[in-house]
Structure 1
Amino acid sequence: MKKLLVIAATLAASSAFAGVKLEVRSDYVNTPDYDNAAGQTTGGTSMFAPSVARLYLNGNVGDAVVESAWNLRSFTPEFATSPYTGTSDLSKTMTVDKFVDHLWAGKAMGQWMFKAGKLEANTGGFEYQKSLHGDTYLVSMANRGVGGSFLATGAGVDPVFAQTGALVANPENSSGISAAYSLTENHKFEAQITNQVNSGSWTDYDALNGTANVRASDRGHTYGLNYLGSFMEKMLILNVNYTAGTADVAPLGGAMTGQELTWLAASLRVNPMTDLTIDLEYFDNKNKQTGGAVDELKTTSTIVEARYNINGWVPVLKYEMSENKSDDADDQFKRTAFAAGVEFVPKADEAFRYHVAYTSIKDKDFGNAALKDMTKDMIVVGFKYTGDMAK
């Protein structure tokens, strides 16, 4: 880890990387006690957490464009990525893959741009970018947002939800290649080919059923096509993505189970006036399986988020409706959630922003009749800093 930080510092000092930006968001997060789906009281938490800590290094090497981002803090992957998605468990564990958020080299040829390396995923719409940069206080289930924790235990009981989240989540950044074509200044198409979502192999063990699953290593790829366009002098911005891929799994000693994944995202940003922004987004994620007990898993999310800048004060409102569907009723539930917050930017030309927000997440209508509706609330108070370190 120390060697990686030294490399990043060396690159930052290089004249080739003239753009050096530090992005940090730090929060105090309070989660009161709540009853989980089993009707048991889950203890509240009170914690300080850096939900975003990232160094960006951008520049040119010859005719090539090089862009990179390096995560300076990692969170426990099993429990999502940051407090405002609902997690309360932090970890100091850092891997090379998590340290490198993205790192690619690009070459422009007329209206084309070709990239290779670890790419930013085009899935997830505007919301994914907001969550990546710490600019939202509620993340939809499709983009790996979480609610309350629940794990059924006991002989013969299925582990319903270790952390109630998406059955099929939008993929994260991954290594691959892309080709983008700018039809006009306001209309752009980009195709990506990346590694499958469970790239690499590992073994997980199901203690309840006494079985182990070996996940296959790189049997296929993920293919995506994205369109980004603006209309009416950028009063309307449309971001549409369709991605498909594989995530094959091989049970220990058994035949390969094929998983055909598709992700559909449709996002519309409306700017009716200079200081008002409204985002409407819909995500439809599916996993069709062959050779397994469950034929299809599905996660859908619909969100609306509004921001209005009033002389440096920015009220933020967001609402979510999500649902998990499956052939197995135990996997199913619905989610409704909202966040209300306010941001304050003392000076437009300075790098600090302060914020306070209240979030409420309700998981309900579980397919397992033994489970009850549960509501988890959070209060977030913090700040965000974004600064150019090259100046």
Structure 2
Amino acid sequence: MKKLLAMAVMSLAATQAMAGVKLVVRSDYLYTGNYDNNAGAEVESSSVFTPDVARMYFSGNVGEAVIDSAFNLRSFVIGDIDGAGTSVQKVMTVDTFVEHLFITKNHGDWSFSGGKLWMNVGGFERRAFYDGDTYLTSLANGGMGGTAAGGLLGLTGSVLTPENSSGISAAYKIAENHKVEVQLYNQVNRDSALLTSTNKRHSYGLAYWGSFAEKMFQTYLSYNLGAGDDRATGGHELSYIAAGFRIAPMEGLNIDLEYLSNTDKSSATDTKDETTSTILEARYKMGMWTPILKYEMSTDKAADNDNFKRDAWALALELTPKAEDAFRYHVAYTSIKDRDFGAGFGANTEDMTKNMITVGFKYVGDIAK
């Protein structure tokens, strides 16, 4: 399978229609200090090198249509090889390899797309963490906190923004700097093996982008309604709301304020899970230096009950020695505090704070030139 995927990408890259072949790589050294989990037990420190992003982008034209695609060079899921849980290893699937792959046809101010779409969820932040341009990912967008008692991985929200999905879309350019798009796509837990999902409904969403005062003020608004049916627990009504505002009050300074709200209502229990995040980020480019400050406030609910809350912040500094250089270097300090744990975590829980230091680089280059 991997050979077939590699051959397909190479064939796509070799076609004369492809106008751009962009490689994006971000690699980090990540140090996490030791901390106490929510039961008071110490979690040992860790020191690792991580390939945060490794992705190839292809874009170009086939006749009057436009192809937009991205392929993850290092993206794995845990695979149970023998079906018994005794032989587990990391494997790459088609879904993890193909980040998005769709074709778009323009008709005046309208454009129509089909394929594995880039989903209009998660606000400005979602694009930033896909591109390796954030050092703190919010709870709603899948950011991990400390490891809670009895857990194996960092604590995440109950309802996360969905991955890219296959479907169709129609976009309309209202004016030069204003656009709306409607998407119709598969339910978020679609299972091609037909083992758990019923695949009987679709999800859909509406998104709007706009800018005002010569892009001094930009906004991003989206509302998605999702289906998450399965045979075990019945129907799930999902919703994803994103409201983002970007302000550029002076040259080099960008301030983002975003609100994300994800919900999952179960028809079997008539209860709702909810994950919300409010994000504030400021970037100030001063020549080769760009200091960044980001703050997050999040709340998680499970079955209508308070689950936990998160306060987190990150302070980072990026260095781009030459504007035309493909390399950027960065260092960041991130602190994530999970607190106010609900009854689902047991009695006598306490706040836990995970602190991390990140040092790394990012490369972005058109390797077709």
Report the TM-score when normalising by structure 1.
0.87
Q: Deviation digits for residues 81-113 of structure 1, max 9, x if unmatched?
A: xxxxxxxxxx74211111000000110000001
Residue 289 of structure 1 corresponds to which residue in structure 2? Answer: 266
Aligned AA (1:188): K
Report the CA distance between 1:77 and its aligned residue. 7.1
Alignment of 1:102-181 (within 5 A): 102-152=100-150, 163-181=154-172
How much does 1:371 deviate? 2.1
Structure 2: stretches of 5+ with no match in the other structure: 80-88
- Could you tell me which amino acid in structure 1 is paired with residue 179 of structure 2? K
Question: Quick check: 1:43 aligned with 2:55?
Answer: no
Measure, in 2, the Cα distance between the counterparts of 1:193 and 1:379.
40
Q: How many residues align?
A: 356
2:335 aligns with one of 348, 360, 363: 360
Is the 1:151–1:162 contact (alpha carbons within 8 Å) kept by the matching residues of 2? no
Q: Which amino acid aligns with 2:139?
A: M
Q: Aligned pair 1:350/2:348, yes or no?
A: no
Deviation at 1:75, TM superposition (A): 4.5
Q: Write the deviation string for residues 118-154 of structure 1: whole angstroms up to 9, x where unpaired.
A: 00011001000000000000000000011012253xx
Task: Describe how 1:371-390 pairs up with structure 2 within 5 A.
Answer: 371-390=349-368
Structure 2 vs 1, CA of residues 92 and 258 (structure 1 numbering), >3 Å: closer, same or farther? closer
Given that 2:76 and 2:96 are in contact with CA atoms closer than 8 Å, whether structure 1 keeps it comes out as no
Confirm whether residue 314 of structure 1 aligns to residue 290 of structure 2. Answer: yes
Q: Distance in 1 between matches of 2:304 and 2:247?
A: 38
1:195 correspondence with 2:186: yes
Are the equivalent residues in 2 in contact too, given 1:151–1:163 (CA < 8 A)?
no
1:284 and 1:202 map into 2 onto residues whose CA distance is 30
Once residues 39 and 148 of structure 1 are traced to their aligned partners in structure 2, the CA distance between those partners, rounded to angstroms, is: 12
What RMSD in Å do the two structures reach over aligned CA positions?
A: 1.8
Q: Which residue of 1 aligns with 2:247?
A: 270
The 3-state SS of whatever aligns with 2:18 is coil
- List alignment gaps of at least 5 residues for structure 1: 79-90, 153-158, 204-213
Shift of 1:326: 3.0
For the pair 1:225 / 2:200, whether they are aligned, the reply is no
Q: Alpha-carbon deviations, 1:197-217, whole Å to 9, x = none?
A: 1011679xxxxxxxxxx6323
- The whole-number CA distance in structure 1 between the counterparts of 2:350 and 2:230 is 32
Q: State the distance in 2 between where 1:77 and 1:353 align.
A: 31
Using a 3 Å threshold, how does the CA distance of structure 1 residues 370 and 93 change in structure 2: closer, same or farther?
farther
- In the TM superposition, 1:62-101 aligns within 5 A as 62-76=63-77, 92-101=90-99
Alignment of 1:6-17 (within 5 A): 6-17=7-18
Q: Percent identity?
A: 53
- Contact 2:78/2:91, CA 8 A, preserved across alignment: no
Equivalents in 2 of 1:291, 1:92: separation in Å?
33
Residues 78, 90 of structure 2: 8 Å contact kept: no
SS at match of 1:249: coil
Letter in 1 for 2:116: K
User: Please, what TM-score do these two structures have when normalized by structure 2?
Assistant: 0.92
CA separation of 1:93 and 1:302: change in aligned 2, threshold 3 A: same
